[in-house]
């Protein structure tokens, strides 16, 4: 039996524990009970209270003697007799059961709505009659005064089958495209159906007229809720003459007074899953609502949570045993769960021993099985030097680690770390000193861990105080909240502002304001002065402190060296980024004055070169042949012979032009000299 507690409400899970297979003999069962503690402590309240694979619906007869459950596979119905604490009978069906209802006080009259549109009527001996409805059904309700069955499903019509006359009557035409659930008020017999559009239509069976419509989809959406689509009605339940609870497909439960179109209270399950079932617990004014993941019990006047349960497997249906504190659930699991909550009421008459059992457990609480064992991981075993014990009886494998005897663990730890007691003693002394310091009057004391974060929170709170109105509630402060206390005490929770993740998430942290830095320096100086004024703690001489400070200085020097290396690496990365930026930047055009005597050449030559480089080798050869810089000819052997002329650069061209000009000047001088000589020769005879 498993015990859990939430809001000081104890919940006993009577179906928890290992179940023995049916094919085991009695001798083996007794042997297992002697050896296995879990088998010995389990409580089998009802024998074979399970299904082959999955249970879908569960109900209790009005006399409280029979519990009926539907499940698969194969589709079947099982009836359990609570007086005999065993299975009464089992019947297999042709198709799966969508829902069923017990019309009589015992199991003699049962109606089953199946997934293939068939409706089966069963009596004590078995199936009595079988008929079919026009559309696929989803739910039905029985109207006792007129003996009418109202079927709702994948249609806008509500089909009526009269069991006294044995024929269908005129159906009710609704405004919805489909109807999901329905219910009939037990006092004034008002018929209500929940539609796929999120509305509840109420009909008077006497006049077969619609008397009202509630728009629950609009009322379920509040400022805090987030929905993806239009909420439809998934559960419906009347309580008394005036109250009605409605469950939506988005996980909200609305409580209505039939005299008002606005809900009295809206309760959100916070899971976004459809509400499967709703039950009322009148003695404590509670509403029990369940989706596939959680069962919540809350006060129908205030909406305050009373308690909740989260089974291991998904929930399909719940049923509260009348006038007791027992809750039955049908799950996506072979085993159907039984919960006993003493606060809701006493145990049923057929299991009254549960009250004595729970009282004894509360008076003598037993220690859990794992109190004498220590859970260690594989890494812990390697640190302790016990990795060779893996696979031996001293270690029991469990999840991602092992269980070992706590005495063995303490002995090995003392051998591996003999100075653990001294470290523990120093830590206790430090804690006591801090407790005495906390009693003093302090103006502003920052924690030792995450100082900058604490200073930021204090500044934000000071900024919000003048703007906060009187009627507004004071928001909880993280510094004074016990849930976040460890974040400012344990150095393991120190925020690493130089890590890559922190920089990506907080890109503006590096730009801390100068005021905050000054405040931090002032507060650190004040703390240093207070520590100097403190007396030395007992059991720790000054020599030990000096040795520790020297070790700290060495560690500090190493840390500084590491930080310098990191800074150099960051500077290198910045240089590379700057170089990339310089390459990507587009330069603006600049104008220069051409010197006298120089000629300006256009950029066409460079453009031509770029175009020429993009061409293939054959195209370039053809072009050079046309220009005369290249000649290709065939030889006698059959091979090719290629002769080409090198292109001259600008400087070479200038030199050649200067040489040509020099030669031309010399020729001109020679010609003029020869011409003068010839003239003198002609004048000689005079």
Q: Report the pLDDT averaged over residues 157-173.
A: 92
> Between residues 39 and 333, which one has the greater pLDDT?
333
Q: Enumerate residues 6+ apart whose C-beta is below 8 A from 474.
A: 468
Torsion angle of alpha carbons 97, 101, 102, 104, nearest 10°? Answer: -140
Distance CA 488, CA 458 (A): 14
Could you tell me which residue, 618 or 647, shows the higher pLDDT?
618
pLDDT in tens, 536-550: 444 444 444 444 445
The two structure tokens encoding residue 315 = 């929930």
The total of other beta-carbon atoms located within 10 Å of residue 494's CB is 14
Average pLDDT over residues 186-195: 92
Mean model confidence pLDDT for the chain: 79
Q: Are β-strands 326-331 and 86-92 bridged in parallel, bridged antiparallel, or unpaired?
A: unpaired
Give yes or no for residue 248 having a pLDDT over 70.
yes
Q: For 111-140, write each residue's pLDDT tens digit.
A: 999 999 999 999 998 899 999 999 999 999
For residue 444, how many other CB atoms are within 10 A of its CB?
Answer: 11
Question: 3-state SS of 282-347?
Answer: CCCCEEEEECCCCEEEEECCCCCEEEEECCCCCEEEEEECCCCCEEEEEECCCECEEEECCCCCCC
> Is the CB of residue 447 less than 8 Å from the CB of residue 455?
no
The DSSP H or E segment spanning 10 is strand 9-13
- Report d(CA 326, CA 309) in Å as an integer: 13
pLDDT tens digits, 21-68: 555 666 776 676 666 666 666 677 888 888 989 999 999 999 989 999
- From CA 531, how far away is CA 611, in angstroms rounded? 79
Q: Taking a C-beta distance cutoff of 8 angstroms, is the pair 70, 79 a contact?
A: no
- Whether pLDDT at 298 is above 70: yes
Question: Band of the pLDDT at 510, cuts 50, 70, 90?
Answer: very low
What is the b/e burial string over 106-122, where b = at least 16 CB atoms within 10 angstroms of the residue's CB?
Answer: ebebbbbbbeebbbbbb
What residues have CB less than 8 Å from 62, skipping those under 6 apart? Answer: 102, 104, 105
Higher pLDDT, residue 672 or 504: 672
d(CA 99, CA 147): 19
Q: Given this model, what pLDDT does residue 551 score?
A: 55
Residue 685 has pLDDT above 80, yes or no: no
Rounded to a whole number of angstroms, the distance between the first and last alpha carbons of the chain is 158
At 328 the pLDDT is 93
Q: What is the mean pLDDT of residues 621-632?
A: 74
Does the structure show a pLDDT above 90 at 665? no
Q: What are phi and psi of 104, to 5 degrees?
A: -100, 180
| Rounded alpha-carbon distances, angstroms, from residue 498 to 501, 510, 512, 567, 570 | 9, 9, 14, 11, 12
Tell me which of 583 and 271 has the higher pLDDT. 271
**Which of 383, 381, 400 shows the shortest CA–CA distance to 392?**
381
Cα separation, 89 vs 91, in Å, equals: 7
pLDDT tens column, 561-610: 666 677 678 778 888 887 777 777 766 666 666 666 555 555 555 667 67
Percent of the chain with pLDDT over 70: 73
DSSP three-state, residue 432: helix
Residue of 234, 228, 262 whose CA lies nearest to 246 = 234
Whole-angstrom CA distances from 343 to 251, 306, 363 are 26, 10, 16
Measured between alpha carbons, how far is 440 from 300 in angstroms, rounded to an integer?
47
Cβ atoms of 205 and 191 within 8 Å: the answer is: yes
Higher pLDDT, 462 or 11: 11
Residue with tokens 């344990």: 490
Task: Give whichever of 70-84, 456-470, 482-496, 538-552 has the largest mean pLDDT.
Answer: 70-84
Polymer length in residues for the chain: 686
Predicted pLDDT at 561: 67
Does residue 39 contact residue 33 with C-beta atoms inside 8 Å? Answer: yes
Q: How far apart are CA 400 and CA 404, in angstroms?
A: 14
Arithmetic mean of pLDDT, 71-87: 91
CA distance 112 to 118: 8
* pLDDT given for residue 353 in this prediction: 85
pLDDT score at 418:
75
- Residue of 289, 261, 259, 262 whose CA lies nearest to 276: 289
Q: Which of 168-172, 271-275, 356-360, 675-679 is predicted with the least confidence, judged by mean pLDDT? A: 675-679
Q: What is the pLDDT of residue 40?
A: 62
* Tokens 């617990």 belong to residue: 281
pTM exceeds 0.75 for this model: no
| Backbone φ, ψ for residue 279 (5° rounding) | -130, 150
Q: What is the pLDDT of residues 359-394, one digit of tens each?
A: 777 766 554 445 577 888 888 888 888 888 888 888
> Cα–Cα distance between 79 and 110 in angstroms, integer?
11
CA gap 473, 556 in Å, rounded: 46
Least confident of 225-229, 255-259, 344-348, 682-686: 682-686
Minimum mean pLDDT range among 236-240, 304-308, 557-561: 557-561
d(CA 197, CA 174): 12
CA dist 13 and 4 (Å) reads 8
Task: Give the rounded percent of residues in the chain with a pLDDT score beyond 90.
Answer: 30
SS3 575: helix
User: Over 80: is that where the pLDDT of 350 sits?
Assistant: yes
Q: How far apart are CA 341 and CA 337, in angstroms?
A: 13
Structure tokens given for 155: 């249609």
Give CA separation, 609 vs 294, 593, 647, in Å: 78, 26, 13
pLDDT digits over 397-441, tens only? 877 888 888 888 888 888 887 777 778 788 888 888 877 776 554
On the CB side of 305, how many CA atoms lie within 13 Å of its CA? 13
């Amino acid at each position: 039996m498993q015990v859990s507690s939430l809001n000081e409400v104890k919940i006993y899970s009577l179906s928890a524990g290992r179940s023995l297979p049916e094919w085991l003999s009695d001798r083996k069962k007794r042997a297992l009970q002697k050896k296995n503690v879990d088998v010995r402590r389990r409580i089998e309240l009802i024998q074979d209270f399970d299904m082959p694979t999955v249970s879908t619906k569960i109900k209790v007869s009005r006399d409280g003697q029979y519990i009926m459950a539907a499940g698969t596979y194969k589709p079947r119905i099982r009836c359990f007799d609570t007086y005999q604490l065993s299975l009464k009978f089992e019947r297999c069906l042709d198709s799966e059961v969508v829902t069923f209802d017990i019309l009589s006080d015992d199991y003699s009259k049962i109606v089953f709505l199946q997934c293939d549109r068939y409706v089966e009527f069963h009596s004590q001996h078995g199936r009595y009659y079988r008929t079919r409805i026009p559309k696929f059904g989803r739910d039905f309700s029985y109207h006792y005064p007129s003996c009418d069955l109202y079927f709702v499903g994948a249609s806008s019509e509500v089909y009526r089958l009269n069991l006294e006359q044995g024929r269908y009557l005129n159906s009710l035409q609704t405004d919805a495209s489909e109807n999901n659930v329905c219910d009939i008020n037990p006092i004034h017999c008002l018929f209500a159906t929940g539609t796929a559009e999120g509305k509840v239509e109420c009909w008077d069976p006497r006049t077969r007229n619609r008397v009202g419509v509630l728009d629950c989809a609009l009322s379920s959406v509040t400022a805090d809720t987030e929905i993806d689509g239009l909420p439809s009605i998934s559960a419906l339940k009347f309580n008394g003459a005036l109250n009605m609870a409605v469950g939506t497909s988005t996980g909200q439960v609305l409580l209505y007074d039939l005299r008002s179109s606005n809900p009295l209270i809206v309760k959100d399950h916070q899971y976004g899953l459809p509400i499967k079932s709703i039950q009322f617990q009148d003695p404590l004014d509670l509403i029990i609502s369940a989706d596939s993941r959680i069962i919540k019990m809350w006060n129908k006047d205030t909406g305050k949570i009373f308690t909740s349960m989260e089974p291991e497997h998904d929930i399909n249906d719940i049923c509260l045993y009348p006038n007791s504190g027992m809750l039955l659930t049908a799950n996506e699991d072979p085993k159907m769960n039984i919960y006993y909550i003493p606060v809701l009421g006493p145990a049923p008459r057929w299991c009254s021993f549960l009250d004595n059992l729970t009282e004894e457990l509360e008076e003598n609480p037993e220690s859990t099985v794992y109190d004498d064992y220590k859970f260690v991981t594989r890494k812990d075993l390697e640190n302790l030097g016990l990795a060779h014990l893996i696979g031996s009886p001293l270690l029991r494998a469990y999840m991602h680690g092992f269980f070992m005897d706590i005495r063995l663990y303490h002995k090995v730890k003392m051998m591996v770390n003999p100075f653990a007691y001294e470290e523990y003693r120093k830590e206790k002394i430090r804690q006591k000193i801090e407790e005495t310091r906390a009693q003093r009057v302090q103006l502003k004391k920052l924690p030792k861990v995450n100082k900058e974060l604490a200073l930021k929170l204090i500044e934000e709170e000071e900024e919000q105080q003048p703007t906060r109105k009187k009627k507004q509630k004071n928001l909880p402060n993280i510094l004074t909240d016990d849930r976040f206390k460890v974040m400012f005490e344990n150095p393991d929770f120190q925020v690493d502002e130089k890590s890559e993740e922190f920089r990506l998430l907080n890109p503006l942290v590096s730009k801390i304001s100068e005021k905050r830095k000054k405040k931090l320096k002032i507060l650190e100086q004040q703390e240093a002065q207070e520590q100097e004024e403190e007396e030395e703690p007992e059991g720790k001489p000054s020599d030990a402190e000096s040795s520790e400070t020297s070790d700290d200085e060495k560690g500090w020097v190493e840390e500084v060296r590491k930080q310098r290396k990191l800074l150099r690496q960051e500077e290198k990365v910045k240089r590379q980024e700057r170089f990339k930026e310089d390459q990507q930047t587009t330069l603006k055009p600049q104008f220069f004055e051409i010197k006298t005597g120089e000629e300006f050449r256009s950029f066409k030559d460079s453009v031509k070169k770029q175009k020429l480089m993009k061409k293939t080798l054959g195209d370039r050869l053809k072009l050079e042949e046309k220009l005369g810089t290249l000649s290709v000819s065939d030889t006698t052997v059959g091979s090719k012979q290629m002769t080409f002329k090198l292109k001259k650069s600008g400087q070479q061209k200038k030199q050649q032009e200067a040489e040509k000009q020099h030669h031309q000047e010399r020729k001109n001088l020679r010609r003029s000299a020869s011409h003068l000589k010839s003239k003198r020769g002609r004048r000689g005879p005079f």
